[in-house]
A and B are shown apart, each in its own frame.
Chain A
């Protein structure tokens, strides 16, 4: 496959970036999107040019490091798929592909396509954990949890913290991510002691980091590679309002 890429190049967080056009030639349809970029970068290095910076780690769709808005879609055109798991067969020969970073005030560009997502870490640190010592592994079924609840909590816990929800949202809102992190504990017995403190602390931290406010367009749900549901956001609202107005 031969492709034309329009790639966002930006030196650092303070400079203004611009699009630069590259040719990606003799690309195998079986390559992943990131492997295609590797090939382009090898070419750039050979020409003694600065390679395109992009984030990645596991390349298995589990770590949440890869990003990229590809032709206007976070993680590209394939649903429920991270960029690292997206293959070039999802594109056509001679396609032009526009590649941009996640764009949000709270995710400043580090370089080119790599953005700083540490705002998510700070939200997690504000309350996205259980602070009691958990000890050794308990016996199976020692704590009875109905299957439906366990499944629901598990689904919320599959959020990989990639930030595509923020990238997709017209308000750059982080509510899908935060609600998933609040939900995974709100439903389980281990999460109960700090349930309302957690909801309050994480929401307040999210606001402090400058993410936008949800207007319920549900773009996040459509673009999330892990198909996290917006019902999590409804749950977060409930948890937060209970924390603020009922539990005091």
Chain B
């Protein structure tokens, strides 16, 4: 039996918030994926907008390279405002 395509489902809980990944489901096309996502992931008003993306179209970073990729940000403390002490007189900036 050939399985239907896998779709990843993203939901915006209310306007003003980002769409967030909530899970996945199988469907034969994007329209069916949307309908099914509506039925299973928003039965209690969990969302006001849905995105579905074919799972195979998601390109992900490699977890084995997590350190090479993300650690360099660690020693760049000068990217944060707290790196710059202020004189008492100008306390609010």
Q: Do A and B come from one complex?
A: no
Interfacial residues, chain A to chain B (CB-CB below 8 A): none
Interfacial residues, chain B to chain A (CB-CB below 8 A): none
